[in-house]
Structure 1
Amino acid sequence: MPETPGTLSRPPAVGATIELEGLTKRYPGSARPAVDDVHMEIGAGETVIFVGPSGCGKSTTLKMINRLIEPTGGRILIDGRDVTRMDPVRLRRKIGYAIQASGLFPHMTVAQNIALVPRMLRWPAARVRTRVEEMLDLVGLDPGEFHDRYPRQLSGGQQQRVGVARALAADPPVLLMDEPFGAVDPITRDHLQDELIRLQRELHKTIVFVTHDFDEAIKLGDRIAVLRERSHIAQFDTPEAILTNPADDFVAGFVGAGAALKRLNLTRVRDVGITDCPTATVDDPLPQVLDRLRADGADEVLLLDRRGRPYKWLRRGDLMRTGGSLARAGTLVHDTVTRDATLRDALEAVLTDSAGRVAVTGRRGAYEGVVDVGTLMNSVHELLEADRLEAREARHRLEELRADRTHAEQEGFGGEAKA
């Protein structure tokens, strides 16, 4: 069957395995290597986070995977192929790379930035145009609105979305991300993290992600590599395992206090109860909005903008005082969460808004429902109760071990006495 213009001739690429075998980087004149004999296996479609103190070698290790930094020893295998023997330029075109502050070319439009690698790979023009639109839609940006903008015309969060779109444009199996969300404000960062989780659920790429933020590592990672100096691996395990059983004091220092509360980063809004609430749009006449409130027996309605995004919370009393204008009434929606947001994100949003609920949004910020503080607190209580139960079971197992050891010692002494 011939390929339709502008479409892919094969299914989207899923992730590839990555193996680091004795990976080492030594700079001339340095007494010790910057990265020393790293061994690691990363599964296809897995998100692995490198976290460690500044200067420990995590970014150097990441950059050796696509040979932005050339290793001085060891091997890098991607799907079993030794990429240290490949042409490095060709290698980089097959690996997505996203960095802090997006790294967009300021003289190129959004579309030109995204199209860069596909054009280098000599994709047909129709296929490139289609791919640019696909990528903008994938990262939640309207192609009609953003296609011809320049980076200076975008917010920091929008620039990062375009940076991720560019990294994914050529459909690489591997995506490397070097502190990509470190330069944006906390709310935007939370939303970008949620967007990455959603993208990964759809695309199943192999992602290697560098961060200094352990909470970010817990939220995003299938596994976390806690790195010491020279990228020596202190622990490489799931977020749950590291939180509940840190390998040593160094790892425990990264976990910090409140490990039970950090587990809120492991549960998603999609895992708890999302409900609906009465909604209206800015174009709805006031009598219709009041009828909707009466029909639902509610005291509050969520006003949506013309794109279906949460705009304002309107109480019945606000509506009675508007003089017929919805635009002049109500309280602006300060924050929203997505289904991929964590319980911690949702709780922070609810407490910031101090209204007992937060709107849940989907693609391009469209309204999907609400989650309330009661639902969130029930989930928190369940997590804490599970932690208490686990702690009691651990104490019980320890007491049994001590009793067995004491019994064995007594038996031993008794045997000696009889002898």
Structure 2
Amino acid sequence: MPDSNGVSGANIRLENLTKRYPGSAAPAVDNVSMDIKAGELIVFVGPSGCGKSTTLKMINRLIEPTSGKILINDEDVTNIDPVGLRRKVGYAIQSSGLFPHMTVAQNISLVPKMIGWSKGRVDARVAEMLDLVGLDPTEFRGRYPRQLSGGQQQRVGVARALAADPPVLLMDEPFGAVDPITRDHLQDELIRLQHELHKTIVFVTHDFDEAIKLGDRIAVLRERSHIAQFDTPEAILTNPADDFVSGFVGAGAALKRLNLTRVRDVPVVEVPTAGVDDPLQSIFDIMGSGSVTELLLLDRHNRPYKWLRRGDLMRAKGSLARAGTLVSHHVTDDSTLRDALEAVLTDSAGRVAVTGKKGEYLGVVDMETLMNSVQELLQADRLDAIEHRAELADAAGGQVHREQEGAS
């Protein structure tokens, strides 16, 4: 159950966590300590083989630690039944990990049934979880994994991980096997879910852009999961701890910071709209007024459907069925400005429709809005750099002063 602040997650503390495999000269994970707050989304990012997945799997003891402690809500889980622990910790992996011989409903209901939920409660939870991840229960609950797209399988995998309402969700590169467009949508979906559920999520990726987009804090890991830097995305982008972290940040830090700003944080542009069931004459009246050259046609659920221009109406001949251009791209208000920029750049008119949780139309983001945001980020970077140099200069001056006093 959520606490008074709406947080339903648990705090996690790793103390001197180590994993050494027999016959290995060096440990795979070496003496890792970390505090994770309840309700945080923490991302482990680092090069292949650095031990990030091993560290993740030790939290639910899929891999047993050689030494150290794992505390969840101050309970040392290294001393309890590992099977019971895994039923209390959600786990989602790459390629979903669904059981192919089970239906979607059977996959999602697996853990609730194991822990003794009644049939009525299980059935209601399956429907709730499918609705939560944006899949119609009546359409999907009886399907098998092979009948789903990659993105749909990943959504079901997340639904299964959350089915028993665990306070902790572990995600091991869950979106790594899908195409870039689906991956962006799944990332947006996870952000939306976290706003609603406030779980404690530990997420593993090798993609730094994904880490910036998702993480409340990011742990940049070296070999053996040594922590190079554990901080907010903003802090890592503006003040990387060393050259190793700078290598992950790479060039174009200001553009990467577009992943930190959501569409909901910038003003949207209002454009004329009409519904598919509106009389054709009323649409002509809107388009014939003043400077209106374009109109967004919404479907019966208030979702973006078509862009209509004056010339399209002239060719409509009493019907909008073949008039206009279908909306091929849209972003949600949880999407990042980087997502919006990519969509705008692929649009001939330089704009993209913004939608809410249920796909409903909220407004439009255009190139001017995005360019202004980029300029603001660049200016903020310049000010941060000036401030950082001033701090370094003050520190160096203080050191010289102390050395002079010592010499005298």
TM, length-normalised to structure 2: 0.93
1:280-304: per-residue Cα shift (whole Å, max 9, x none)? 3444442232234346852212223
1:100-140: per-residue Cα shift (whole Å, max 9, x none)? 11112222222222111111111111211221121122112
1:153 is matched by which residue type in structure 2?
Q
Equivalence map 1:39-118=2 (5 Å): 39-118=33-112
Q: Which residue of 2 aligns with 1:329?
A: 323
The alignment of Structure 1 onto Structure 2 pairs a total of residues equal to 407
1:208 is matched by which residue type in structure 2?
V
Going from structure 1 to structure 2, the CA distance change for 1:291 and 1:52 (only over 3 Å counts) comes to: same
Greater shift in the superposed pair: 348-357 or 51-60: 348-357
Q: Which residue of 2 aligns with 1:289?
A: 283
Greater shift in the superposed pair: 311-320 or 204-213: 311-320
Going from structure 1 to structure 2, the CA distance change for 1:40 and 1:406 (only over 3 Å counts) comes to: closer
1:293 is matched by which residue type in structure 2?
M
Unaligned runs of 5+ in 2: none
Equivalence map 1:14-413=2 (5 Å): 14-294=8-288, 298-399=292-393
Structure 1 vs Structure 2 CA RMSD: 2.5
Q: Is the 8 A contact 1:240 1:263 kept in 2?
A: yes
Residues of 1 paired with 2:217 and 2:254: CA distance? 18
1:173-201: per-residue Cα shift (whole Å, max 9, x none)? 00000001111111111111111111111
Residues of 1 paired with 2:313 and 2:33: CA distance? 63
Going from structure 1 to structure 2, the CA distance change for 1:90 and 1:306 (only over 3 Å counts) comes to: same
Q: Is the 8 A contact 2:7 2:39 kept in 1?
A: no
Residues of 2 paired with 1:62 and 1:55: CA distance? 13
Residues of 1 paired with 2:75 and 2:118: CA distance? 28
TM, length-normalised to structure 1: 0.90
Q: Is the 8 A contact 2:43 2:205 kept in 1?
A: yes
Task: Kindly state the Cα deviation for residue 275 of structure 1 after the two structures are TM-superposed.
Answer: 3.3
Residues of 1 paired with 2:40 and 2:390: CA distance? 35
- Secondary structure, counterpart of 1:241 in structure 2: helix
Q: Is the 8 A contact 1:334 1:353 kept in 2?
A: no
Greater shift in the superposed pair: 35-44 or 320-329: 320-329
Residues of 1 paired with 2:266 and 2:203: CA distance? 27
1:16-49: per-residue Cα shift (whole Å, max 9, x none)? 0111111111112222211111111111111110
- Secondary structure, counterpart of 1:230 in structure 2: helix
Greater shift in the superposed pair: 368-377 or 239-248: 368-377
**Could you tell me the percent identity over the aligned residues?**
76
1:219-252: per-residue Cα shift (whole Å, max 9, x none)? 1111111111111111111111111111111111
- Secondary structure, counterpart of 1:170 in structure 2: coil
- Secondary structure, counterpart of 1:376 in structure 2: helix
Residues of 1 paired with 2:360 and 2:148: CA distance? 20
Q: Is the 8 A contact 1:13 1:172 kept in 2?
A: no
2:266 is matched by which residue type in structure 1?
V
Q: Is the 8 A contact 1:13 1:173 kept in 2?
A: no
- Secondary structure, counterpart of 1:176 in structure 2: strand
- Secondary structure, counterpart of 1:363 in structure 2: coil
- Secondary structure, counterpart of 1:102 in structure 2: coil
Task: Kindly state the Cα deviation for residue 361 of structure 1 after the two structures are TM-superposed.
Answer: 1.4
Q: Is the 8 A contact 1:13 1:171 kept in 2?
A: no
1:304-328: per-residue Cα shift (whole Å, max 9, x none)? 3444332321112112112233221
Q: Is the 8 A contact 1:140 1:363 kept in 2?
A: no
Q: Is the 8 A contact 2:2 2:8 kept in 1?
A: no
Unaligned runs of 5+ in 1: 1-7
1:82 is matched by which residue type in structure 2?
D
Greater shift in the superposed pair: 133-142 or 163-172: 133-142
Q: Is the 8 A contact 1:282 1:327 kept in 2?
A: no
